[in-house]
Amino acid sequence: MAAPSQKPKADAQADNQPATEDDIAYLAKRHRVSPAIVREIIRASGANTRGAIEREIARGKARR
C-alpha cells in the first residue's frame, strides 16, 4: 500500500496530461478564479499540466 504522502499511480499520470476544459473548470472552481484566468495562466506560462497550473495560480495569489 502506498504511503499517505504519495499519490496513487493514476493521479500521478493524470497530472502529466494536458489541461482539458474539465480541468480548467475544476481548477477555476477550486481556486475561486474564473476559467478565463486559468486559460490566461496556461497561455502566458506555457504550462499545460494541472500541477504546473496550480503552482502558477498559487504564485499569483501570493502576489496579491
**Domain definitions of the chain by residue range:** 23-63
26 in Cβ contact with 33 (< 8 Å): no
Q: What is the mean pLDDT of the chain?
A: 81
Which letter does DSSP use for residue 17 in this model?
Answer: S
- pLDDT at residue 14, as a whole number: 54
Q: % helix / strand / coil in the chain, to the nearest 5?
A: 65, 0, 35
Q: How far is Cα 27 from Cα 48, in angstroms, rounded to an integer?
A: 12
Q: Quick one: DSSP state of residue 18?
A: P
User: How far is it, in rounded angstroms, from Cα 49 to Cα 57?
Assistant: 12
Global confidence as pTM: 0.68
* Residue 34 pLDDT > 60: yes
Over residues 18-47, the mean pLDDT reads: 91
Q: Which of 7-16, 17-26, 30-39 has the lowest mean pLDDT?
A: 7-16
